[in-house]
Amino acid sequence: MTQKQPARGGAVARQAAMLCQDRAFQLYLDRRRRAKFGIDESTLPDGTHNEQDARDWLIAACQINSRAELDSNPAARQTFRIIRNRFNRWRAKQKGEKNQ
């Protein structure tokens, strides 16, 4: 008899994991925190947030205990989509500024 593997997250949880691994998302969190709290770049330099920080921030923002919950919790999934959309707009703006 084989034991079932513990349930892992579905598609949304995997998207969240990939987002947390994205160095651009980690940079976004650095700059977001500086802007939100008026922190100087010398105090919170680019590259401060890592994958674990991004994960911790995301689960706190979505009010969940694990990214796997994103697939079964509609409110958390909606919050994640808002976060992802804001990040994508920020990234597009960054790319646009580099091309000017």
Residue with tokens 């995301």: 58
CA–CA dist 49, 28 (Å, integer): 9
Q: Over the stretch 5-61, which tens digit does the pLDDT of each residue have?
A: 445 679 999 999 999 999 999 999 999 999 999 999 999 999 999 999 999 999 999
Q: Over the stretch 72-87, which tens digit does the pLDDT of each residue have?
A: 999 999 999 999 999 9
What residue type is assigned to position 23 of the chain? R
Mapped onto helix, strand or coil, the DSSP state of residue 31 is: helix
